[in-house]
Each structure stands twice: as structure tokens, then as C-alpha cells.
Amino acid sequence: MDLLRVKIWRGGESGGFATYDVPRQGDQTVLDVVTYIQRQLEPSLAYRFACRVGMCGSCAMTVNGVARWTCRTHVAKVEIDGGLEIAPLRNLPVIKDLVADMREFFGKWKKARGHFVATATRRDEFARISPETPQRKAADAAIECIGCGVCYASCDTVSWNPEYLGPAALNRAWTLFNDVRDGARAERLQDVAGDAGCQGCHTHLSCGERCPKRLQPTAAIAGLKRATALAAMRGKL
């Protein structure tokens, strides 16, 4: 039988890799491999997943050194000489095995005011937003984020500055900044300005390189940089 040699991170922050042999199958995903190990070889292995079809964003791990969504990553695409090394996402505390603590990640979405602030009530007319406006186009280009944390785990600026809000939160802020129905656009701009915000980005483009949804948080961040600079020049920051 054709076997994969799989090294899996066990333990918390200070753990180590354990090796398992997993039978290879056609069209096997990395998540299939982890599930096989948990079901057949190591019942105590902790990992996260939910949808298995690339929608929920919960299955991200570091596979052979690179952050990926594991449910839609085929083994054949990432294995090196029949070997896989699977670790929890970088730049986040490790809870156990492959489970990273996402609290910082989502906490920063909050800090970046990553929620919609409604201005209308149910008694108002529907807002009519043309999909052709530049603002809507900018928001649409960045809206498909599934909150997987792959960009955040790949960003060196996050490693260098623990306060940095990171690509996903800033990308989210950008979609809301471009939503004309939102009632807190000026305040949000203040939240994302500064060294821990959009100005902290070093334009490595690691986020866009790794994002499984092929978003470009760097483009969103560049937009926020322009918007904050403009607001500052007008004395509104």
C-alpha cells in the first residue's frame, strides 16, 4: 500500500512533531489525512473543521510550512516526497495540537469596527446601490472573506508587531468603508489609522499570495491608507 509519512504537531506551544503513516488515496485532501489519523490512529488528536467545502474558514493549518485551508487542499498538490508536515496556524497561540486560539484574530476584527452599523430601520425603503459604483465594486472585490486566518498567519507584520490589526480585519473594514449604508465610516477610519492599523502594512503581499479566496487584502489596505491620508489632510482624522 502506498503510504504518506505525516508529521503532526502534538501538544501546546511547546510540543513536537509525531509521525504517522496514512494510506494514500486519490483526490485525498489534507483534512482527509488529519481525519484519518484522528479516527484510526490517534483519537486524542485535536483539530478543527466544519463545512469541508471551503465555506466556514475553520480548517486552516500550516501545511509544509505554508498556511492553507486544508479541506480544499489536495495532498497531491502539497506533499513533498510523500511527506506532509501539518502544524497549527502561525502568529496565534496554540491551544492543543492543530487548534490555534483565534481570539486575537477575531478580537482585532472588533477593534477595526468590522461590523455593519445600520442607519435605516425596517420601515425605511430598501437602499438602492448600483453594482456599478466604484465604491460597491471595491467592496465586492473584498467581500468574500471566510475568516480563515490564513492571511493573518502568513503576515510578517503581525509577527513583528503584535498590535497590528492584520490583513483580514483591515480588509473587512475596507468593505464597510465602501458601504454607503453604514453609519460609522468616519469612526472606523479612525480605528484603522496608525501603526497598528493600515499604515503598519509593509506591502509584502503574503496575505494575497496565500488567501484561499484569492482576495487581495493589500489592495484594501492601500485603499485605507489613501482614505486615512485624505481624511487627515481635511482635518477629519
Partner 1 sequence: MRNDLRSRNHRCFWAFLVHRVSGVALSVFLPLHFWVLGQALEGAGRLESFLRWTDHPLVKLSEIGLVLLLAAHLSGGLRLLLLEFRPWPAAPRWQQGALALTAGVSAAFGLLFALNVL
Q: Rule CB under 6 A: say whether 169 interacts with ligand SF4.
A: no
List the beta bridge partners of residue 203.
Answer: none
Residue selected from 11, 39, 50, 163 as contacting ligand FES according to rule CB under 6 A: 50
The footprint of ligand SF4 on residues 124-153 (CB under 6 A) is 145-151
Grid cell locating 231 = 481624511
Give every CB contact of residue 48 below 8 A, 6+ residues apart in sequence: 58, 59, 98, 99
Note whether 15 binds ligand FES by CB under 6 A.
no
- 125 Cβ neighbours under 8 A, 6+ residues apart: none
Nearer to ligand FES, 49 or 106 (CB): 49
Give per-residue burial for 58-72: e unless 16+ CB within 10 Å, then b: bbbbbbeeebbbbbe
Say which residues have a Cβ less than 8 Å from residue 184's Cβ, sequence separation at least 6: 113, 117
**CA nearest to 57, candidates 136, 140, 152, 155:** 152
12 touches ligand FES (CB under 6 A) = no
Q: Which is nearer to ligand SF4, 8 or 215 (CB)?
A: 215
What residues from 97 to 156 belong to the interface with partner 1 (CB under 8 A)?
134, 137-138, 140-142, 153-154, 156
Question: Which does residue 237 bind out of ligand SF4, ligand FES, partner 1, none, counting CB within 5 to 8 angstroms by kind?
Answer: none
Residues 6+ apart with CB under 8 A from 202: 156, 157
> Which positions from 156 through 195 interact with ligand FES, judged by CB under 6 A?
none
Q: How far is the CB of 210 from ligand FES (least distance, A)?
A: 14
Quick check: 216 binds partner 1 (CB under 8 A)? yes
Q: How far is the CB of 92 from partner 1 (least distance, A)?
A: 8
Q: What residue spans of the chain are helical by DSSP H?
A: 30-36, 75-78, 103-111, 134-142, 150-154, 156-160, 167-177, 185-192, 206-210, 217-233
Task: Measure the N-to-C terminal CA separation of the chain; round to a whole number of Å.
Answer: 64
Give me the residues that bind ligand SF4 (CB under 6 A), please: 145-151, 155, 157, 167-168, 171, 201-207, 211, 213, 215, 217-218, 221
Give me the residues that bind partner 1 (CB under 8 A), please: 13, 62, 64-67, 87-88, 90-91, 94, 134, 137-138, 140-142, 153-154, 156, 159, 202-206, 208-210, 214-216, 218-219, 222-223, 225-226
Give me the residues that bind ligand FES (CB under 6 A), please: 49-52, 54-59, 69, 71
